[in-house]
Amino acid sequence: MNYQSLIEIVPWTFVAQILNLLLQAWLFKKFLFQPVKKIIAERQAEINGLYTDAENAKTDAEAAQAETAAILQQAEGQAEHLLAEAKRSAQDAGDAIVADARKHAAVLKEKAEQDIALEKKRAVNAMKDELSVIAVDLAAKVTEKEIDAAQHEVLIAEYIDKIGAGV
């Protein structure tokens, strides 16, 4: 077999193959590469749109997070204010209760002091009544009989004993 015929270059075949290659390249470019480029460009635009939407969503989420933090901080401030107000209100109510209790205690103390004074007056009056009875008895005994100094001392001792026993 002739191996040299396999390597041989035929000029017209070579030109025809080059023209065939150029024609195929033009056909691939016209019918294959341009539609593929168009599809790739559309997909790239879609991906860019998704990236833009994602960036917008991220920006919106950050803004919402900042707004939520501000609302939370405001709510904490209001809670602290309400807590302070409740504490102050409770303190005022406690002070009012203590003041009312003190007034009530003062009224009870005043009444007790009046009751004590009244009982003291009653006791003094009762002692005066008893002393007047004893004095009348003593005067009756003195007028009934003439007494000497010794009897006078005995009557005084009896009188003192009666007073001591009565009290």
State the burial class of residue 141 (Cβ atoms within 10 Å of its Cβ: 0-12, 13-18, 19+).
Answer: middle
Is 1 a member of any domain? Answer: no
Asked whether residue 3 is domain-assigned, the answer is no
Our count of domains for the chain comes to: 1
Predicted TM-score (pTM) of the model is 0.41
d(CA 73, CA 100): 40
The verdict on residue 101 lying in a domain is: yes
Q: How far apart are CA 55 and CA 43, in angstroms?
A: 18
> In terms of residue numbers, what domain contains 28?
12-166
Compute the distance between CA of residue 132 and CA of residue 124 in angstroms, rounded to an integer: 12
In tens digits, what is the pLDDT along the chain, a chain of 167 residues? 566 666 777 788 889 999 999 999 999 888 888 888 999 999 999 999 999 999 999 999 999 999 999 999 999 999 999 999 999 999 999 999 999 999 999 999 999 999 999 998 888 878 877 777 776 677 666 666 665 667 767 777 777 777 666 55
